[in-house]
Amino acid sequence: MYQPRRVADPIETVVPTVDPISPAAAPSRGSAPRRAAPSFADRVIARGGITLAVVTVAATAGAVAFGSNGGTAVALGVTTPQVSAGPDAATAAETPTQVARTLTADELAAPAAELAAQPAGSAVKAKKASRELVSLARLYTTGSLNVRAEADSSAELLGTLAVGDRVSATSDIEGKYRKVEFDAGYGWVLEKNLSDAAPVEAAGTTWAACSRGSAVESRLRKDTVHIYRSVCALFPAVNSYGGWRAGGLPFHKNGRALDIMLTPRAESALGHRIANYLIKHAADFKIDHIIFEQRIWTPRSPHWRHMADRGSLNANHFNHVHVAIRA
């Protein structure tokens, strides 16, 4: 059960101060000091003081209960009233007056805002604290994106995002740009290249010519060209491609295979996004198999399976995604 705190101290006996009694007026030894009998008015005042203390406790408990029942929350604060200059100014300033004031939303949020503003251990921690006050949406990049310091194409370049990267986007939009979290801070990217669906699910295929040119398309089958152009459009960060070559297994020398070249390990995540995209459109591309990082996927057995070690990064397909189509 809630017990209200005592707001009034017990009434202490006040010992009046009097002027020293002169020897002539002092009572004689052996005579008891005289006490004045309490009058009717004294008894009324004493009882009134006790009643006032009880009323104060009840009023305080009532204010707390009112706030906890969903009404306006009231805080009891001590403020020093403004006093005018004069003989009683110093005395009035030393006697604070207890007043009631309503808490505002700004005051309730103040601790979080102050935490965000203070360097709590590190700048990164302070920035993370400030993010708690911002509404964020989880979105995906549908292409390679430049991240700018301001919502302008000429602003400082902070870095880049690869296709398929998941970002935390704010609701701030200026022109063609949207503000997103980037590198323990914020940056601006093109709004049109953000999607609420993962690119593998959202992106289709294309027959549009690749910006890298058509040299790799020489002697490739039609469906292999379709793969090359679609991957080129969606994944512009790819280093290079390998197509037709003589010798070896029949897939490359028959124009049925494409090698999508990547930097080993450093671009492993990009390679897996490409592989997942190819799996999503396996029927469109008429895919026979996909090999990446010493594992193989086929439509007949649609899960990744480990392959035997062939002795090198290239032979084990750590530096490229190999995709082949059916005959």
| pLDDT tens per residue, range 158-196 | 999 877 788 999 999 999 999 999 998 999 999 998 988
- The three-state secondary structure class of 175 is coil
The enclosing H or E element of 151 equals: none
The pLDDT, as a whole number, for residue 46 is 52
Burial state string for 218-244 with b = 16 or more CB within 10 A and e = fewer than 16: eebbebbbbbbbbbbbbbeebeebebb
* DSSP structural state of residue 191: G
The pLDDT, as a whole number, for residue 176 is 96
Domain boundaries defined on the chain: 116-200, 204-325
pLDDT at 4 over 60: no
The pLDDT, as a whole number, for residue 7 is 46
Task: State the average pLDDT over residues 20-32.
Answer: 47
pLDDT tens-digit profile of 241-256? 999 998 878 899 999 9
pLDDT tens-digit profile of 275-306? 999 999 999 999 999 999 999 999 999 999 99
pLDDT tens-digit profile of 191-227? 998 988 766 655 789 999 998 899 999 999 999 999 9
Confidence of residue 135 (pLDDT cuts 50, 70, 90): low
The pLDDT, as a whole number, for residue 29 is 47
Which backbone phi and psi does 225 adopt, to 5 degrees?
A: -65, -40
- 108 versus 34: which is more confidently predicted? 34
Q: Which of 242, 314, 318, 227 is nearest to 277 (CA)?
A: 227
User: Residue type for 1, please?
Assistant: M
The pLDDT, as a whole number, for residue 248 is 73
The per-residue pLDDT of the chain, averaged, comes to 73
- Distance between CA atoms of 213 and 229, rounded to whole angstroms? 10
- Distance between CA atoms of 58 and 60, rounded to whole angstroms? 6
pLDDT at 6 over 80: no
pLDDT at 119 over 60: no
Task: Say what percent of the chain tops pLDDT 90.
Answer: 43
Task: State the average pLDDT over residues 101-115.
Answer: 38
CB 243 within 8 A of CB 217: yes
Q: Which class does domain 116-200 fall in?
A: mainly beta
Cβ atoms within 10 A of the Cβ of 142, count?
19
Task: Say what percent of the chain tops pLDDT 70.
Answer: 57
The pLDDT, as a whole number, for residue 295 is 97
Q: Which of 324, 321, 147 is nearest to 235 (CA)?
A: 321
- Distance between CA atoms of 276 and 295, rounded to whole angstroms? 13
The pLDDT, as a whole number, for residue 87 is 44
For the chain, what is the largest distance between any 2 Cα atoms, rounded to a whole number of angstroms?
A: 137
CB 211 within 8 A of CB 232: yes
Q: Which of 137, 189, 195, 136 is nearest to 159 (CA)?
A: 189
- 106 versus 136: which is more confidently predicted? 136
- 47 versus 80: which is more confidently predicted? 47
The helices-and-strands tally (H runs, E runs) of the chain is 10, 15
CB 145 within 8 A of CB 160: yes
